[in-house]
Chains A and B, each alone.
Chain A
Amino acid sequence: MKRPILGAFLIAVLAWLVWQTWQIRPTRPRAAAPADSAAVGVRAVTLYFGAADGDSLVSEDRELIESANLHERVAALVSELDQGPRGRGVAVLPAGTSVLHVYLDDRGLMTLDLSGAFRQRFRGGSTAEYLALASLVRTVAADLPEVKQIRIVSAGRPLGTLGGHLPLDRPLDASEWP
Chain B
Amino acid sequence: MTHAVRRRLALSGAALAVLVLALGADWRSPPPGEGPETIPVRTLDGHGYVGANDLARILDATKFWRADVRRLVLRAGNHTLIFTVDNPFVVVDESTFWLEAPVRSRNGEIQIPVALVDSLPADSSLARITFDPRRGHVVVLPATGSVGSPRVSVDGERTRVTFPATSAEAAVIVTRARDHFRLRFGGVFVGTLPDSFPPGALVRSLRPLGSAGGSAFELSVDAAAIGYRLNRDVDGRRVTLELSRVFERELESFAPQDPPGARRLRLIVIDPGHGGADDGVVAGQVAEKDLTLALARRLKVQIERRRIRVVLTRDSDYDVPANARAELANRLDADLVIGLHFDGYVNPRARGATAYCPPATFEPPSGENGTERASSRLVLLPWRDVAVRHAVQSRSLAEAMLSSLELRGLGPTRLREQLPYDLLGVDAPGILLECATLTSSADRERVTQEAGLEQLATAIAEGVAAYQRND
Let me know if A125 is at the binding interface, CB within 8 A: yes
Cβ-based interface call for A30 (8 A): yes
Per-position contact with B for A23-67: 1 when CB-CB < 8 Å, else 0?
111110110111110011111100010101111010101010010
Residue B342 lies at the interface, judged by CB distance under 8 Å to chain A: yes
> Any chain A CB within 8 A of the CB of B253?
no
Report the bound CA distance from A44 to B62 in whole Å: 8
Q: Do the beta carbons of B421 and A165 come within 8 Å of each other?
A: yes
Which A residues lie within 8 Å of B439 (CB)?
A: 124-125
In the bound complex, do residue B82 and residue A33 qualify as a contact, i.e. CB atoms below 8 Å apart?
A: yes
Instruction: Give the distance in Å from the alpha carbon of A123 to the alpha carbon of B282 in the complex.
Output: 9
Cβ proximity bits B374-400 to A, threshold 8 Å, 1 near / 0 not: 000000000010000000000000000
Given known A42-B62, A164-B278, contact A127–B57 (CB-CB < 8 A): no
Size range of the chain B interface in the assembly: 35 or more
From A24, A41, A42, A55, B98 is in contact (CB under 8 Å) with A24
Q: Which residues of A contact B233 (CB under 8 A)?
A: none
Chain A nearest Cβ from B449, distance in angstroms: 20
In angstroms, Cα B74 to Cα A36, docked, is 11
| A124, B170: Cα distance in complex, Å | 35
**Nearest Cβ on chain A to B432's Cβ, whole angstroms:** 6
Taking CB atoms and an 8 Å cut-off, the chain A residues in 67-122 that contact chain B are: 90-92
Q: Which of B27-35, B152-160, B205-213 contacts A (4 or more CB under 8 A)?
A: B205-213
Q: How many A-B residue pairs have CB under 8 A?
A: 170
Residue of B nearest to A143 (CB): B60
Chain A residues with Cβ below 8 Å from B96 are: 23-27
User: Is B356 within 8 A of A40, CB to CB?
Assistant: no
Determine the chain A residues whose CB is within 8 A of the CB of B342 once the complex forms: 125
Complex contacts, A91 vs chain B, CB 8 Å: 346
Q: Is B63 an interface residue (CB 8 A)?
A: yes
CB < 8 Å: which of A35, A127, A145 contacts B64?
A35
In the assembled complex, the CB of A44 is this many whole angstroms from the nearest CB of chain B, namely 4
If over half of A's interface residues share one DSSP class (helix, strand or loop), that class is named, otherwise mixed; here it is loop
Q: Is the interface of B mostly helix, strand, loop or mixed?
A: mixed
Q: Which B residues lie within 8 Å of A48 (CB)?
A: 212
B316 contacts chain A at the CB level, 8 A cutoff:
no
Structural contact, A178 and B211, CB atoms closer than 8 A? yes
CB-contacts of B91-126 with A (<8 A)? 91, 93-96, 98
- Contact among A52, A125, A176 with B288 in the assembled complex (CB-CB below 8 Å): A125
Chain A residue at smallest Cβ distance from B56:
A44
Q: Please give the distance in Å from B232's CB to the nearest CB on chain A.
A: 15
Cα distance A91–B347 in the bound complex, in angstroms: 10
Residues of chain A within 8 A of B264, CB atoms compared:
none
Specify which chain A residues have a CB less than 8 angstroms from the CB of B213 in the assembled complex. Answer: 138, 141-142, 174-175, 178
Instruction: Judge if B266 is at the interface, Cβ distance under 8 Å.
Output: no
Given contacts A23-B89, A26-B94, A178-B213, is CB(A41)–CB(B2) below 8 Å? no
Kindly provide the distance from the CB of A89 to the nearest chain B CB, expressed in whole angstroms: 9
Q: How far is the CA of A131 from the CA of B89 in the complex (A)?
A: 47
13 A-B pairs in the complex with CB atoms less than 8 angstroms apart: A24-B2, A30-B94, A35-B73, A54-B343, A90-B346, A91-B346, A124-B343, A124-B344, A128-B346, A130-B418, A164-B421, A176-B359, A176-B418
Q: Ordered nearest first, which 10 A-B pairs have the shortest CB separation? A: A44-B57, A125-B343, A54-B350, A41-B62, A125-B344, A124-B344, A35-B64, A39-B64, A66-B62, A32-B80
The interface of chain A, by Cβ under 8 A from chain B, is: 23-27, 29-30, 32-36, 39-44, 48, 50, 52-55, 57, 59, 61, 63, 66, 90-92, 123-128, 130-131, 138, 141-142, 145, 160-161, 164-167, 169-170, 174-176, 178
